Amino acid sequence: MHELSIVSSIVDTVTESLAAYPGAKVKEVRLRVGALASVIEDSLQFCYGIATEDTPLAGSVLVVNILPVVMHCEPCGADVEIVSLQSFRCPKCGEPVLDMRQGRELEIESIEIDEVEEQV
Ligand SMILES: [Zn+2]
């Protein structure tokens, strides 16, 4: 499953960045995913539950932020948001647009952790 390998690499990245915070538990991981990144959020969530077992990420929440597709329209000289993924046309002038500025991202936006308080 494509999503499982994505989630595994997210878990690796987060685990590495936790090295500086011994004993910390992850509360939430936020992802930025472009609408054209060809991942299914339900699959991501499902795989996340499996891949985080027995890791510092166990029990944390995965938040998936879907980013709209943004193309640059030559005639308008502007970046426009593409609403329909069936036809890549500028919503303002109707011209076909090919110059993608956003839509295929797949990256970690933020990681929220709970630091374990030291008992005195
Ligand atoms: Zn246009």
pLDDT tens for each residue of 78-103? 999 998 888 899 999 999 999 999 99
Q: Where are the beta strands (DSSP E) in 1-120?
A: 25-34, 61-67, 69-73, 78-82, 99-102, 106-114
The enclosing domain of 41 has a CATH number of 3.30.2320.50
pLDDT category at 56 given cuts 50, 70, 90 is very high
Report the pLDDT averaged over residues 6-16: 95
Q: How many domains does the chain have?
A: 2
Question: In angstroms, what is the span from residue 109 Cα to ligand 1's centroid?
Answer: 30
Q: What confidence score (pLDDT) does residue 120 get?
A: 60
Q: What confidence score (pLDDT) does residue 119 get?
A: 59
Q: Are residues 36 and 95 in the same domain?
A: no
Q: Are residues 57 and 85 in the same domain?
A: no
Question: In angstroms, what is the span from residue 66 Cα to ligand 1's centroid?
Answer: 23
Q: Are residues 59 and 116 in the same domain?
A: yes
* Backbone angles phi and psi of 39, in degrees to 5: -125, 150
Q: Are residues 59 and 87 in the same domain?
A: no
Q: Which domain holds residue 119?
A: 1-67+103-120
Give me the chain's average pLDDT, please.
Answer: 92
Question: In angstroms, what is the span from residue 88 Cα to ligand 1's centroid?
Answer: 11
Residues with CB under 5 A from ligand 1 (ion): 73, 75-76, 90, 92-93
Q: Is the pLDDT of residue 118 over 70?
A: no
Q: What confidence score (pLDDT) does residue 85 get?
A: 81
Q: Are residues 98 and 86 in the same domain?
A: yes
Q: Is the pLDDT of residue 117 over 80?
A: no
Q: Are residues 50 and 27 in the same domain?
A: yes
Q: Are residues 41 and 2 in the same domain?
A: yes
Question: In angstroms, what is the span from residue 120 Cα to ligand 1's centroid?
Answer: 64
Measured between alpha carbons, how far is residue 85 from residues 4, 56, 94 in Å?
Answer: 25, 37, 14
